[in-house]
Amino acid sequence: MLWKESYEIGVPLIDAQHKELFRRVELFLQVLRSEVCWDEKVQKVNETLEFMKGYVVEHFRDEEEYQQSIGYPGYEAHKQLHTGMVEYVLEFSKKYEQSNNDEQLIQQFGGKLLAWLINHVAAEDQRIADYAKKKG
């Protein structure tokens, strides 16, 4: 499991969403690295893209609402990071469709998702918790 308890920010809804994000990305990478047939991988990519456009967008909204509720000063900058990720997913989606399910592109996407998730949750999201703690 890639998820670590130290990633928790102490807000049950957000922590549950982060755990689910890790679970889904991990599953996606497992399928990409496995020996399953190509069609199954393509299916998993489509599923993951839908997940990113639905669940992840919802998570970003919930997290931004939480930031506003505690007056988090990094709100605007953080929102930009979320927007950047959503834009990347949409851009990848387009490229991926045009490429006719190019494998290299898919592997790149898997790597980027994982790196983004870990960096974002372990560093950026953690700052929200630090601020909340300091504020008391």
Give me the residues that bind Fe ion (CB under 5 A), please: 63, 125
Cβ distance to Fe ion smaller for residue 34 or 74: 74
Its sign, for the CA torsion 51, 20, 17, 114, is negative
Query: CA 59, CA 9: separation in Å to the nearest integer?
Result: 14
How near is the Cβ of 44 to Fe ion at its closest, in Å?
22
Least distance between Fe ion and beta carbon 98 (Å): 29
Whole-angstrom Cα distance, residue 124 to residue 112? 16
Give ∠ CA 53-104-80 in degrees, rounded to 5: 35
Please, which residue, 40 or 65, has the CB nearer to Fe ion? 65
In angstroms, give the least distance from the CB of 3 to Fe ion.
13
Q: Which residue is nearest to Fe ion (CB)?
A: 125
2 versus 36: smaller Cβ distance to Fe ion:
2
Answer yes or no: are the C-beta atoms of 73 and 135 closer than 8 Å: no
